[in-house]
Amino acid sequence: MRALGRWLLLLLWALLGLQLFFVLRIVSMNWIAPESTSFQRSQAWRIVWRDGQLPWRQDSVSLAAMAKSLQRAVIASEDSAFTQHSGIWWQSLENAWEKNNRAKAQAEKRAQRQADKPVAVKIVGGSTISQQLAKNLFLSGERTLLRKAQEMVLALTLELLLSKSRILEIYLNNVEWGEGVFGAEAAAQHYFGKNAARLNAWESARLAVMLPRPRYFEKLAKSAYLARRAETIMARMNDVVLP
């Protein structure tokens, strides 16, 4: 029992040390932008392993060097309550939970009718921009309760130690917008051949719509869905309050 107690104590100290590391890293982001994120490093390894080379586009710029239309479009698409919550939007999580439960129930009914065919279930998230940034910066993409709990803690820490505008700036400079394409500046150059500051409302909306599945939509840049969804986002942009 004593040995077990010592191991548990060591585990507790290790967890506390990890949280302290996260806190210090986040505090430093007030002045020093992260050179890379956990997600970016995992993507880099995947590309190098597959292709033997690393095509990479990323140019960090200030929030002022990104079109306000892009900022509005991303908030409208990804987290319309960004300026109102403290890192976690509980209503969005509840809605996602209910939607996923309905999707699973429908999938089970289809599976019973089609016993010989696998039935895919589309899982939607309710993560805020702060949660997405926390996951991309520090965590893996696995779907476990432990990882989700750590993501929530980190999101609350980001909101406590950084301003909303700084969170948005770091997010927009590091989010994936295609195969080896990270950040607003690289995305603007890759898709439209211009600086992020010169993006118009339509271009901004199209980029925002790509965010949930950027590598998928990179290959379907002219899809009807992108066009329809971009129109929806454009209609919401004027209601967005920027930090």
pLDDT tens for 114-159 read 655 543 434 445 689 999 999 999 998 778 888 889 999 999 999 9
In this structure, the number of other CB atoms found within 10 A of the CB of residue 117 comes to: 8
The per-residue pLDDT for 165 is: 97
The per-residue pLDDT for 91 is: 67
The per-residue pLDDT for 103 is: 44
In this structure, the number of other CB atoms found within 10 A of the CB of residue 168 comes to: 24
Rg of the Cα trace of the chain?
Answer: 20
| Residue that has been written with the tokens 């500051």 in this structure | 197
Distance CA 63, CA 66 (A): 5
pTM over 0.75, yes/no: yes
Joined together, the tokens standing for residue 110 give: 């289809």
pLDDT of 110 higher than 80: no
40-82+163-243 — its CATH code?
1.10.3810.10
pLDDT band at 74 (very low <50, low <70, confident <90, very high): very high
DSSP string, 88-135: --HHHHHHHHHHHHHHHHHHHHHHHH-TTS-----------HHHHHHH
The β-bridge partners of 176 are: 182
190 touches 177 (CB < 8 A): yes
pLDDT tens for 175-234 read 999 999 999 999 999 999 999 999 999 999 999 999 989 999 998 878 889 999 999 999
The CA–CA distances, whole Å, from 90 to 27, 67, 72, 84, 110 equal 25, 29, 21, 12, 30
pLDDT tens for 30-47 read 999 998 999 999 998 988
Nearest to 182 by CA among 191, 172, 192: 172
The per-residue pLDDT for 2 is: 74
pLDDT of 99 higher than 90: no
Sequence spans of domains, the chain: 40-82+163-243, 90-125
User: What angle, 0 to 180 degrees and rounded to 10, lies between the N-to-C axes of helices 145-161 and 2-28?
Assistant: 40
Per-residue DSSP letter, 194: S
Distance CA 44, CA 98 (A): 35
Lowest mean pLDDT among 45-49, 99-103, 167-171: 99-103
